[in-house]
């Protein structure tokens, strides 16, 4: 697609992106918008709260500050992988090899830094480059040859699992030096309380500034604007949630560096999806690929970029997993990793059919799944029970998603 085509696509995308409904104010109206909105997160938040209440009722230690700190740290590697899955699902594709790619990235970092003596930065860059290359190959095969992503990435799952074993060699497991800053930062790195509160203030002020900026742009274009009380309500709710989370976690070890990295990635992805031409292209391709092509969207380039982003984030997730475990072995990125990541994206509200979802799906979905896993571990239940409960939660999330979608279509 040439430059003129892209400029033309910028105008036509407005027709693909659904026009916002006139804003209304009031608790009932706000709840109605959440449950009918394209990116409604209320059902997931309610589901997460329900899971927490049930687990806290049967195991009071679940809601202890120390356990919630562990829960946030455990959620990061899979959450980063799930964020990539959200992006590829939004364009109507799927990547089944994210677990194998993450395991290969962990193996590259471990072998490169421990066995080959590479600097850590070089090992991380090589691992991320491998992830980008994998995504590029997937994207080219999917767009140029028309191969189904399910088949391509299923083959990739097996292929890169084999490459991971070959890279690890006969030992099958390599320990990372505990004293390295990489391992210590991920396992024991936590924000100072003053820094954590400063980041909360920065986040809230940035959110408020974005709301005011968007409102002013719409007002100048003679479009409907969100009322000021609703802007204040949203900002106040965000400040309350962040303050409660940081305040409670700070009574234990606090907020981990890796958790901050994950949240920053989610915010970047969210802004890219909602405020950039690329993000509008992603939604347009996922909603209706043919309509997007006729509208001038660079469909092939958008799909390739989504695969590249997904595989790169999978590699980053594997690197973070290696740092958290202090090792890379044959089980890193194992069989259930890709299932957990895909389930987290779907539970978080991303449609398997493309075009609907948000970056926050990864954060909310992985919190639900890891909460279930964490709670069942505290109850000393086995992995079989964890799989069955996670499957039931996934089914429930899909049913809720379908009911919300049907209600929205009927409205």
Domain spans, the chain: 41-189+256-410, 190-255
Q: How far apart are CA 383 and CA 395, in angstroms?
A: 18
As a whole number of angstroms, the distance between CA 216 and CA 239 comes to: 22
190, β-bridge pairs:
256
Contacts of 321 (CB under 8 A, 6+ apart): 77, 102, 106, 332, 333
DSSP 112: I
Alpha-carbon dihedral sign for residues 388, 69, 198, 179 = negative
For residues 372 and 397, is the Cβ–Cβ distance under 8 A?
Answer: no
User: pLDDT at position 403, please?
Assistant: 72
Residue 103 and residue 395: Cα distance in Å, rounded? Answer: 27
Residue 15 has a pLDDT of: 44
DSSP run (H or E) holding 376 = helix 360-378
337 close to 161: Cβ distance less than 8 angstroms: no
Residues 6+ apart with CB under 8 A from 365: 44, 82, 343, 344, 345, 346, 347, 348, 349, 350
Rounded to an integer, what is the distance from CA 336 to the centroid of its chain?
A: 17
* Alpha helical stretches, state H, 39-119: 42-58, 65-90, 98-110
Using an 8 Å Cβ cutoff, are 336 and 266 in contact? no
The answer to whether 266 touches 359, Cβ cutoff 8 Å, is yes
Integer Cα distance of 305 and 299 in angstroms: 10
pLDDT recorded at residue 375: 87
Structure-token pair, residue 300: 């092939």
For CA atoms 83, 322, 68, 235, give the dihedral sign.
Answer: negative
378: Cβ–Cβ under 8 A, 6 or more apart, which residues? 55, 59, 61, 62, 67
pLDDT of residue 12: 45
| In CATH, 41-189+256-410 is 1.10.10 | no
Do 193 and 254 touch, CB atoms closer than 8 A?
yes
As given in the structure block, the two tokens for residue 138 are: 């997937």
Q: What is the spatial distance between Cα 97 and Cα 103, in angstroms, rounded to a whole number?
A: 10
Residue 340 CA to residue 392 CA, distance in Å, equals 13
Spatial distance between the Cα atoms of 128 and 97, rounded to a whole number of angstroms:
15
**Do 122 and 112 meet the contact criterion of CB atoms below 8 Å apart?**
yes
Contact 289, 92 (CB under 8 A): yes
- Contact of 52 with 63, CB cutoff 8 Å: yes
Q: CA triplet 362, 84, 1: central angle to 5 degrees?
A: 130
Quote the radius of gyration of the chain (alpha carbons, Å).
22
Task: List, in sequence order, the alpha helices (H) in 276-359.
Answer: 277-287, 289-294, 299-325, 337-347
Residues in a beta bridge with 327: 175
DSSP-assigned states of every residue in 355-373: S---THHHHHHHHHHHHHH
Q: What is the pLDDT of residue 227?
A: 86
Contacts of 92 (CB under 8 A, 6+ apart): 285, 286, 289, 353, 354, 355
Using N-to-C axis directions, what is the helix angle for 257-275 and 299-325, rounded to 10°?
170
Of 239, 234, 231, 233, which Cα lies nearest the Cα of 213?
231
pLDDT for the residue numbered 152:
95
Written as tens digits, the pLDDT of the chain (411 aa) is: 443 444 444 444 444 444 444 444 455 555 555 555 454 677 778 888 888 998 889 888 899 999 999 999 999 999 999 999 999 999 999 999 999 999 999 999 999 999 898 999 999 999 999 999 999 999 999 999 989 999 999 999 999 999 999 999 887 889 988 888 889 999 889 999 999 999 999 999 999 998 898 888 888 888 888 888 888 998 999 999 999 999 999 999 999 999 999 999 999 999 999 889 999 999 999 888 899 999 889 999 999 999 999 999 999 999 999 999 998 988 887 768 888 898 889 888 888 777 788 898 889 989 988 898 888 888 888 778 878 887 887 787 677 667 766 666 666
Q: Which of 350, 332, 284 is nearest to 38 (CA)?
A: 350
């Amino acid at each position: 697609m040439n430059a003129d085509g892209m400029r033309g696509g910028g105008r036509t995308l407005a027709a693909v992106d659904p026009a916002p409904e006139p804003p209304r104010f009031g608790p009932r109206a706000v709840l109605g918008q959440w449950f009918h909105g394209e990116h409604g997160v209320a059902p997931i938040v309610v589901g997460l709260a329900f899971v927490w209440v049930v687990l806290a009722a049967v195991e009071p230690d679940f809601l202890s500050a120390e356990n919630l700190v562990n829960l946030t740290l455990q959620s990061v590697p899979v959450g980063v992988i799930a964020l990539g899955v959200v992006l590829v699902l939004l364009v109507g594709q799927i990547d089944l090899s994210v677990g194998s790619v993450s395991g290969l990235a962990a193996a590259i970092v471990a072998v490169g830094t421990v066995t080959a003596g590479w600097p850590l930065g070089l090992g991380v860059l090589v691992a991320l480059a491998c992830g980008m290359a994998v995504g590029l190959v997937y994207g080219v095969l999917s767009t140029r040859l028309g191969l189904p992503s399910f088949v391509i990435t299923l083959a990739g799952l097996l292929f890169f699992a084999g490459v991971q074993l070959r890279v690890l060699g006969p030992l099958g497991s390599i320990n990372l030096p505990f004293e390295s800053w990489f391992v210590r930062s991920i396992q024991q790195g936590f924000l100072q309380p003053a820094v954590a509160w400063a980041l909360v203030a920065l986040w809230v002020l940035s959110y408020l500034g974005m709301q005011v900026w968007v409102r002013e742009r719409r007002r100048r274009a003679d479009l409907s604007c969100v009322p000021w009380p609703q802007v204040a309500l949203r900002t106040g709710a965000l400040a309350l949630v962040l303050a409660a989370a940081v305040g409670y976690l700070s009574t234990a070890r606090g907020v981990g560096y890796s958790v901050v990295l994950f949240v920053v990635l989610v915010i970047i992805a969210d802004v890219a999806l909602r405020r950039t031409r690329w993000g509008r292209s992603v939604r347009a391709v996922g909603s209706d690929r043919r309509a997007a092509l006729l509208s001038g969207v660079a469909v092939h380039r958008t799909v390739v970029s989504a695969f590249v982003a997904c595989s790169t984030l999978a590699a980053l997730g594997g690197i973070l997993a290696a740092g958290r475990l202090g090792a890379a072995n044959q089980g890193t990125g194992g069989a259930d990793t890709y299932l957990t990541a895909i389930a987290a994206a779907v539970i978080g509200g991303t449609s398997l059919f493309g075009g609907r979802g948000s970056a926050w799906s990864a954060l909310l979905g992985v919190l639900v799944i890891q909460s279930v896993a964490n709670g069942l571990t505290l109850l000393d239940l086995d992995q079989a029970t964890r799989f069955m409960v996670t499957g039931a939660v996934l089914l429930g999330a899909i049913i809720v998603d379908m009911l919300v979608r049907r209600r929205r279509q009927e409205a």
